Amino acid sequence: MVVAVVKETFEGERRVAVVPASIGALRKAGLETVVEAGAGLAAGYPDAVYAEAGGRIAATRNEAFQQADIVAQVRALGANPGSWADDAPSIRAGTAVIGLMDPLGAPESIADAARYGWTAFALELLPRITRAQSMDVLSSQANLAGYKAALMAANASPKLFPMMMTAAGTITPARVFVLGAGVAGLQAIATARRLGAVVTAYDVRPAVREQVESLGARFAEIELDASDAQDSGGYAKALGPEFYAKQAEMMTGWLAESDAAICTAAVPGQRAPILITKQMVEQMRPGSVIVDLAAERGGNCEVTEPGAVVEHHGVRVIGPLNVPSELPYHASQLYSRNMATFLAHIVRSGAVCADRSDEIIAGTLVLHEGQVVHARLREMLGMAELEAPAKQGDPQ
């Protein structure tokens, strides 16, 4: 079987789905790799390195698609809304397309793609189970985003993050407030702490308190029942109005004491919750900074403008987009390892397995044999429920 690695066409995307170091692992799984010329250049991986690792270089994009049994991408379908349809006529029916697809945010793109007869796996939908951790692209990329967010905050702040004792006097450490203690939030905490800041973190899930405190940060807690704050997959979910009213009251005080805030709170498939209102921003000290990693989903801050830096009452609000792409070398390296592990799991006996009795496959498989097969997407699209699949043997 042949895996095609093509240049990303989403504006500003510098990552590549497979790096040269993963080609050996793919070969062990029975997969050859064909790479579109220049596919890895923006991430720091030239064609010559792919060729040395055993990859074949295709002169054109169409040539790579025509050889492919599997197309590995960072952004496909709904995650590449402006360009995925341009590639569609070049990808043969029966090809497996794998990548980030924003299925919960743009389910209609999955439905549109059904007519091409592909098998498609959306990596955002990987179940949060132990055996899928090594395939979890959301976690690997969020980890880098959290690191970069702390650096953005430090760079934009007019204050030093660490305490310094000098002959001219002592400089007190900056105070950083992190909203959301998922993978990105925890890495932001760790990085801000390494830079010397005093860090406070908040999350609606009380269960993360221990993780926050293990990194040397203080956990800000609201004394209300938040026991239903996460779903069975470990993701945060929306709560009721009473909780959010109390949260807003407490948040105002925490932000007023902070020199920088880093927002990471998101609910899959929905607009990011507004946690920092205009009024809260106005209570912050002039010169304070907000880095809103939720900007791609509208932002956790009311004044965030996705992709822009704005100033409101002396507070600088940064709304970065696609932050992992700003670290494309290592972001691609981690993504590629996730991808190679996922491919090794789904390729069996020389074919892509679509056995929906397998929890990982069932969780990520969105298209098969010309129809949408993911239960949650079918519900979102108003489609009838499919019959439960019988367990399949390995493909022959």
The reply to whether 283 belongs to the active site is no
Which residue in 69, 87, 136, 292 is the catalytic one?
136
Q: Do domains 2-125+328-380 and 143-321 have the same CATH topology?
A: yes
pLDDT digits (tens, 9 = 90+) for 335-352: 999 999 999 999 998 899
Instruction: Indicate if the pLDDT at residue 306 is higher than 60.
Output: yes
Query: Which of 27, 128, 209, 285 does the annotation list as catalytic?
Result: 128
Domain 143-321 belongs in CATH node 3.40.50.720: yes
Rounded to whole angstroms, the Cα distance separating 369 from 235 reads: 30
Instruction: Kindly report the average pLDDT of the chain as a whole number.
Output: 92
| Coil, strand or helix at 130 | helix
| Tens-digit pLDDT profile for residues 339-388 | 999 999 999 988 999 998 899 999 999 999 999 999 999 999 999 888 76
Number of H helices, E strands in the chain: 13, 19
Domain boundaries, given as residue ranges, for the chain? 2-125+328-380, 143-321
Please give the CATH number for the structural domain made up of 2-125+328-380.
Answer: 3.40.50.720
Asked whether the predicted pLDDT for residue 35 surpasses 60, the reply is yes
Tokens of 157: 């702040």
* pLDDT for res 238: 54
pLDDT of res. 347:
95
230 touches 203 (CB < 8 A): no
Cβ-in-10-Å burial (0-12, 13-18, 19+) of 263 comes to buried
Selected catalytic residue, list 22, 73, 109, 139: 139
CA–CA gap between residue 124 and residue 101 (Å, rounded) = 7
pLDDT score at 394: 46
Is the pLDDT higher at 329 or at 250?
329
Q: Is 376 a catalytic residue?
A: no
**122, two tokens:** 């959306």
pLDDT confidence tier of residue 396, bands split at 50, 70 and 90: very low
State the catalytic residue, choosing from 235, 329, 348, 376.
235
C-alpha distances out from residue 364 to 102, 197, 218, 377, Å? 12, 39, 36, 11
Q: Which of 86, 115, 133, 271 is catalytic?
A: 133
Q: What is the pTM of this model?
A: 0.90
Could you confirm whether 133 is annotated as catalytic? yes
- 392 in catalytic set: no
346: enclosing H helix or E strand: helix 328-346
**Is 47 designated active site?**
no
